[in-house]
């Protein structure tokens, strides 16, 4: 099965970005609709869904590359080139945009640029406040960097694909878990742990593990589906907990350590259980476009939010708040369409021409 052509994966990607945008946009609604604060869960769950979806898709590529490689590490440079041309140019564009609006629209302290340029701004410490949404991108980039190296080195040592994959999974599950267990004994808050890159790489590894099980054999696929049939039951619990005030997570050591993985299991269950479902053609049409713009929408949604707060007077009344919320949502996806069409797509075309698979 081709991951690229599966419409359910686009539905999941579009669902993830909509959850994030609606969560951030709730600030325009809560003054008149206090219950809109419940949408807070979307910011957490949307990013966790992005993580496991990336792990599932990129995991399939990593597994295929490792298994079919003529040398253990000869494929890694091309893999990095393709992944970084997918993510880095747009990231750099929005790093520049956030610097330009630093002193007016989105005030903050001037960052250590070399750390942002190298995605090391939050390796073992919480992500700085500047360009705050980049915390999740740093985690993904660390995953793209570490996982191929581990796979390649272990394949060279063991000479066995399954052993090297198993050891890679084990290492990248155990180390982040151990780091979170230690962090939970300190004063670090839930969100500080959440935004520290090496504490969170295991979230993507759930997707890698699912990709291996799903594509390895029918027996493993059936077992995965059975596990996911139970895992999906966690979804309402994740929504309920993620909608609670931050203090609930900050005061609970168990949630600081394990809540991310509980969410990851529920998200990968959603992906696996829906992957063979028929998707309505109209849903496919809409979700494929939202999915295509999702990376740009993720990068643009907070600059748009701050710009709207600056440009528009404080709304009064329900209708005014709803109009501002609608303007925000529409502006996010319109700006994402512009960024994708005139920048991101051109970079991807160049990538596919120069760094062919």
The predicted-structure confidence for 293-334, as pLDDT tens digits, reads as follows 999 999 999 999 999 999 998 888 999 999 999 999 999 999
DSSP 316: -
Query: Do 294 and 13 meet the contact criterion of CB atoms below 8 Å apart?
Result: yes
| Residue where the block lists tokens 């869904």 | 49
Q: At residue 3, does pLDDT exceed 50?
A: no
Q: How far apart are CA 295 and CA 302, in angstroms?
A: 13
Q: At residue 123, does pLDDT exceed 60?
A: yes
Q: How far apart are CA 265 and CA 12, in angstroms?
A: 14
The residue-averaged pLDDT of 201-212 equals 98
The two structure tokens encoding residue 254? 């168990």
Q: What is the largest CA-CA distance in the chain?
A: 67
Backbone angles phi, psi at 195, to 5 degrees: -100, 10
DSSP 73: S
Query: Do 19 and 297 meet the contact criterion of CB atoms below 8 Å apart?
Result: no
* CA proximity to 110, closest of 135, 130, 92, 96: 130
The shares of helix, strand and coil residues in the chain, as percent rounded to the nearest 5, are 80, 0, 20
The rounded percent of the chain whose pLDDT value lies above 90 is 93
Backbone angles phi, psi at 352, to 5 degrees: -70, -25
Q: How far apart are CA 198 and CA 207, in angstroms?
A: 17
Question: What's the confidence (pLDDT) of residue 69?
Answer: 81
Sign of CA dihedral 56, 42, 295, 336: positive
Phi-psi category of 174—alpha, beta or left, where left has phi over 0 and alpha has psi -120 to 50? alpha
Question: What's the confidence (pLDDT) of residue 316?
Answer: 86
Q: At residue 1, does pLDDT exceed 90?
A: no
* Strand stretches in 224-355, DSSP E: none
**pTM confidence score:** 0.96
The predicted-structure confidence for 21-62, as pLDDT tens digits, reads as follows 999 999 999 999 999 999 999 999 999 999 999 999 999 999
The residue-averaged pLDDT of 96-121 equals 96
Q: How far apart are CA 66 and CA 77, in angstroms?
A: 13
Question: What's the confidence (pLDDT) of residue 70?
Answer: 82
């Amino acid at each position: 099965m081709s991951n690229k052509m599966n419409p359910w994966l686009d539905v999941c990607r579009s669902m993830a970005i909509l959850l994030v945008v609606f969560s951030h946009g709730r600030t325009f609604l809560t003054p008149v609709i206090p219950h809109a604060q419940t949408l807070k869960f979307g910011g957490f769950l949307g990013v966790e869904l992005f993580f496991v979806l990336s792990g599932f898709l990129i995991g399939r590529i990593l597994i295929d590359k490792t298994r079919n490689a003529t040398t253990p590490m000869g494929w890694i440079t091309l893999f990095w080139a393709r992944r970084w041309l997918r993510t880095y140019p747009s990231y750099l564009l929005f790093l520049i945009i956030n610097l330009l609006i630093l002193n007016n629209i989105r005030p903050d302290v001037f960052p250590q640029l070399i750390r942002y340029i190298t995605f090391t701004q939050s390796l073992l410490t919480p992500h700085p406040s500047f360009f705050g949404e980049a915390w999740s991108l740093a985690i993904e980039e660390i995953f793209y960097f570490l996982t191929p190296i581990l796979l390649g080195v272990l394949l060279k040592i063991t000479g066995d694909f399954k052993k090297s994959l198993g050891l890679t999974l084990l290492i990248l599950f155990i180390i982040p878990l151990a780091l979170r267990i230690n962090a939970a004994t300190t004063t670090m808050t839930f969100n500080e742990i959440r935004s520290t890159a090496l504490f969170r790489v295991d979230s993507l590894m759930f997707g890698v593990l699912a990709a291996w099980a799903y594509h390895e054999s029918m027996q493993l696929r059936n077992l995965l589906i059975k596990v996911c049939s139970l895992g999906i039951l966690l979804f309402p619990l994740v929504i309920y907990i993620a909608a609670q005030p931050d203090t609930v997570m900050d005061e609970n050591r168990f949630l600081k350590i394990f809540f991310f993985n509980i969410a990851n299991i529920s998200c990968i269950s959603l992906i696996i259980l829906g992957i063979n479902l028929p998707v309505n053609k109209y849903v496919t049409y809409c979700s494929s476009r939202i999915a295509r713009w999702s990376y740009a929408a993720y990068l643009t949604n907070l600059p748009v939010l701050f710009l709207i707060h600056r440009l528009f007077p404080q709304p009064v009344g329900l209708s005014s708040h709803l109009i501002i919320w609608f303007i925000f949502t529409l502006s996010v996806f319109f700006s994402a369409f512009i960024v994708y069409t005139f920048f991101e797509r051109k970079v991807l075309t160049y990538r596919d021409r120069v760094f062919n698979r």
